[in-house]
Structure formats: structure tokens, C-alpha cells
Amino acid sequence: YVPPTIINFRTDKQRFAAAKVMQMEIFGPVIPVCYYNDVSECVDFIRSRPSPLASYLFSSDPTMKETFKHSIHSGSQAINDTMVQLSVEDLPFGGTGASGFGSYHGKYSF
């Protein structure tokens, strides 16, 4: 059993990027956190790594939402929500690259 865990790297981006938790897929309630002041710096970091299974943004800034939506490639995305893509059967769900084997749900399963 692994209890829900937040690993807070604060603004230490080098330690965050080099951490073991950032080098592998974690199948448990563990979330690594690093703070960014500039959305483009955050997008650059995400795009420098393999595509994630899912990406989530929590923001009220319309510009940040658009930047995120059009700049991040992942198996699924949600803005100001978490698992909405699983609750709508017609939306495809699945990973890209090494993080999944294609889409499932709806016609995208075939």
C-alpha cells in the first residue's frame, strides 16, 4: 500500500527533472510538483519528455488554457477537471508512444 503522496520540489527544476519519480511511470497515488512562473517554460519542459498518458491544467487564465490545449500532446487532456474523459463513452481514451497502446471507448476502439 502506498498512501497518497505529494513530492514537492518547489522551484528546483533540475532536481525535479532528475528525480526517479520523473523517470518512470508511476501506477499509484503519487504526484510530483514543481512550480513555474511562466507557462512557456512549463510547456517546454513537458514537450522535452515522452508524451504523457494524460495531461491536466487547473487555471482560470484563458490564454494559459489555449496555450496548454494547443501545445501539449498527450493521450488525453482535461482543463479544470480530472477524469472527465473516462466518463464520456464516446471520447477516445488511451496513451501515445510508450504510454499506451492506442485508444479505447466508442468507435476509436476499432
Residues 14 and 64 in one domain: no
Residues 29 and 63 in one domain: no
pLDDT tens-digit readout, 16-53: 999 999 988 788 899 999 998 888 899 999 999 888 87
pLDDT tens-digit readout, 46-104: 999 888 878 889 999 999 999 999 999 887 888 999 877 667 766 665 555 555 555 55
Look at residue 54 in the predicted model and tell me its pLDDT.
81
Domain region containing 70? 51-110
Tell me the C-alpha distance between 81 and 71, whole Å. Answer: 18
Look at residue 92 in the predicted model and tell me its pLDDT.
61
DSSP 45-74: HHHTSPPPSEEEE----HHHHHHHHHH---
Q: Are 30 and 18 in contact (CB under 8 A)?
A: no
Burial of 52 (0-12, 13-18, 19+ CB in 10 A): buried
Task: Establish if 78 belongs to a structural domain.
Answer: yes
Look at residue 109 in the predicted model and tell me its pLDDT.
54
DSSP 3-45: --EEEE-TT-HHHHHHSGGGTS---SSEEEE---S-HHHHHHH
Look at residue 100 in the predicted model and tell me its pLDDT.
57
Task: Establish if 42 belongs to a structural domain.
Answer: no
Look at residue 71 in the predicted model and tell me its pLDDT.
95
Residue with cell 496548454: 68
